[in-house]
Structure 1
Amino acid sequence: MKIRANNIDIEIEDTHPGDASGRPVVLLIMGLGMQLVAWPPALVQALMDAGYRVVRLDNRDIGLSQKFDHLGQPNLVWASLKYKLGLPVKSLYSLHDMAADALAVLDVLQIDKAHVVGVSMGGMIAQRVALAAPARVLSLTSIMSSSGARGLPQAEPHVMRVLLSRPAGKDLSSIMDHYVKLFKAIGSPGFPVDDAELRLRILAASERSFHPAGVTRQMMAIVADGRRAAELAALRLPALVVHGKADPLVPFACGEDTARRIPGARLIGIEGMGHDLPAGVVERVLQPLIPHLNAAGTAR
């Protein structure tokens, strides 16, 4: 359903709308260009079975949430050059804004506190949520993400080439071929997904919404968020960092760095996991995640 939060329209899914039972809430925040439907149903169901109310959202500029085409398109080449030179990068909106969106969703749903779980860019937004409103965060879980610190290992060159490339055409077949190539490039070598399953997922997501312009603006917001790493030391909350040891897009060292920067954070490395959430990875993520949520809820 669509709600008005932070003065924009945001699409959400809430497993227990209006729940008054006191069921603890898990807020799930997806990554760059990914919609709320990208959360594996098995993960959402496992959280529900464990007694949690699960809230998902389409981040601004993607999915069924409000688009920001009126802001124009950033120059990623120029921004990348400035970043490499250590110069400040300006974005059309920020990860702070996207964190404010997430907190506003909780406000509209009258949720005082929640466990915040994010993957990739969603992990960065989750970190920003925790920094902006630590009293409202029961626990933080950052999956396949990064602190954004300078000097961390970058994505493998062939992965960046695919990520920054465009479909050969505007027809659905070209779009699907492009995203199959991308998801296979960043996927988990220990948990491969066959092309037919990938195509079904891509088709479902594309039919729901296809808005590549929003991905570029979200990417700029990531590049511009240069101070988060130094701020993470201020966090005092239960934190779990989960990262694939075979991640070709956001290398494992980025997860190690995030865990080092958050006091008391626990790091879980998963062998064979890349930058996706196939069934085998979901099982391994849930093994530490649900105990983490349970323990954090009791402690807080």
Structure 2
Amino acid sequence: MPIADLGDRSLHYERRGSGEPLLLIQGMGGHHRMWHEPLLADIERDFDLVVYNHRGVGDSSRALPPYEIPDLADDAARLLSALDWADAHVFGTSMGGAVAQRIALRHPERVRSLVLGCTFAGPAGGTLVAPGLLRIAESRKTGDLRDLLRSTYDTNFSPAAREDPALWELFTDRMLSERVPAAVIVMQQLAAMKHNASAQLDQLAAPTLVIHGTADEIVLPRHAEHLASTIPGARLELLDGVGHLFWWEAPALTAKLLREHAGV
């Protein structure tokens, strides 16, 4: 996995495919291997893809507090420069969607189009305390890794998706394949809770698509409706019965929406 030198830090990334440049940004506790392979294999036919690890994750540079979502957005913009990309389509999910919003606001010239998945604009969209997050928090208190993984699995996928026994094994394998220290997750959580872009999103000029599963227990669907309502011309796609990790549950539909929105 290559490394991008950003000066005072470095980010590890993976690049594949050919076509329009597309930067994918993972959420809290996520890493580059949490992009589901069926999705990547599909869209690499039309996109030059880059996935990466946030500061503190995997082999990216150590993360030191304090930092906020705009700092992660600046990391991503500097990664674009390291890749010699003047601009790119940007797809961010969950906390990564908050990062993507800040990229589009702080570096508008770098964003060709914007896709915001299972994410939020800030507290104006409603409470960020959701049933799935509460369940995961309770599991963390037990100190039992398997219990934490199970609660994370159950709250990130819809009941229908969880009926596939192979999904649990694949999910746990992917989750554990990269190092994501607990301290980094805490820093990410604090940064995400401070994210509040609602008052600025009416300035966002990039063509924007908002995608959200109606069975999401981590970021409730009402956040998608609020987010789309604040961004001029934004299109909202609600995926019926789909959970937080919608690109795992509906990779072909996600790929189709990405292609349509980017115009490829």
Q: Shift of the alpha carbon at 1:212? A: 1.4
Q: What does the per-residue CA deviation read over 1:203-262, in whole Å, with 9 as the maximum and x for residues that have no partner?
A: 343243141110000011111223x11110001121000011111111111001110111
Summarize the Cα distance change of 1:151–1:143 in structure 2 as closer, same or farther, 3 Å threshold.
closer
TM-score (norm 2): 0.91
TM-score (norm 1): 0.81
Task: Give the residue type in structure 1 aligned to 2:33.
Answer: V
Summarize the Cα distance change of 1:157–1:43 in structure 2 as closer, same or farther, 3 Å threshold.
closer
Q: What does the per-residue CA deviation read over 1:247-293, in whole Å, with 9 as the maximum and x for residues that have no partner?
A: 11111110011101110000000001111136442222223221111
1:191 aligns to 2:164 (yes or no): no
Task: Give the residue type in structure 1 aligned to 2:41.
Answer: Q
Q: Note if contact 1:117-1:142 (Cα within 8 Å) is conserved in structure 2.
A: yes
2:140 match: secondary structure? coil
Q: Note if contact 1:32-1:215 (Cα within 8 Å) is conserved in structure 2.
A: yes
Question: Which among 254, 262, 266 is matched to residue 223 of structure 2?
Answer: 254
Tell me the distance in 2 between the aligned counterparts of 1:265 and 1:123: 14
Q: Note if contact 1:117-1:141 (Cα within 8 Å) is conserved in structure 2.
A: yes
1:43 aligns to 2:13 (yes or no): no
Tell me the distance in 1 between the aligned counterparts of 2:131 and 2:215: 15
Summarize the Cα distance change of 1:287–1:158 in structure 2 as closer, same or farther, 3 Å threshold.
closer
1:230 match: secondary structure? coil
Tell me the distance in 2 between the aligned counterparts of 1:256 and 1:96: 23
Q: Counterpart in 1 of 2:76? A: 102
Q: Counterpart in 2 of 1:135? A: 109
Decide which structure has the larger Cα Rg and report it: 1
Q: Note if contact 1:6-1:100 (Cα within 8 Å) is conserved in structure 2.
A: no
Question: Which among 166, 171, 174 is matched to residue 201 of structure 1?
Answer: 171
Q: Counterpart in 2 of 1:15? A: 16
Q: What does the per-residue CA deviation read over 1:70-113, in whole Å, with 9 as the maximum and x for residues that have no partner?
A: 54xxxxxxxxxxxxxxxxxxxx1011110011011110110001
Q: Counterpart in 2 of 1:63? A: 58
Gaps of 5+ in 2: none
Gaps of 5+ in 1: 72-91, 296-300
Q: Note if contact 2:247-2:254 (Cα within 8 Å) is conserved in structure 1.
A: no
Q: What does the per-residue CA deviation read over 1:18-52, in whole Å, with 9 as the maximum and x for residues that have no partner?
A: x8xxx310000000010011001111121111x21
Tell me the distance in 2 between the aligned counterparts of 1:102 and 1:291: 24
Summarize the Cα distance change of 1:99–1:156 in structure 2 as closer, same or farther, 3 Å threshold.
closer
1:273 aligns to 2:242 (yes or no): yes
Tell me the distance in 2 between the aligned counterparts of 1:279 and 1:204: 12
1:33 aligns to 2:3 (yes or no): no
May I ask how many residue pairs the two structures share in their alignment?
A: 263
The alignment's C-alpha RMSD in Å is 2.1
Q: Note if contact 2:128-2:193 (Cα within 8 Å) is conserved in structure 1.
A: no
Tell me the distance in 2 between the aligned counterparts of 1:63 and 1:291: 32
Q: Note if contact 1:191-1:281 (Cα within 8 Å) is conserved in structure 2.
A: no
Tell me the distance in 2 between the aligned counterparts of 1:121 and 1:10: 17
1:208 match: secondary structure? coil
2:67 match: secondary structure? coil
Task: Give the residue type in structure 2 aligned to 1:218.
Answer: Q
1:211 aligns to 2:202 (yes or no): no
Tell me the distance in 2 between the aligned counterparts of 1:136 and 1:183: 34
Q: Note if contact 2:9-2:61 (Cα within 8 Å) is conserved in structure 1.
A: yes
Q: Note if contact 1:180-1:199 (Cα within 8 Å) is conserved in structure 2.
A: no
Tell me the distance in 2 between the aligned counterparts of 1:161 and 1:192: 17
Q: Counterpart in 2 of 1:242? A: 211
Q: Note if contact 1:235-1:262 (Cα within 8 Å) is conserved in structure 2.
A: yes
Task: Give the residue type in structure 2 aligned to 1:294.
Answer: G
After superposition, residues 280-299 of structure 1 pair within 5 angstroms as: 280-294=249-263
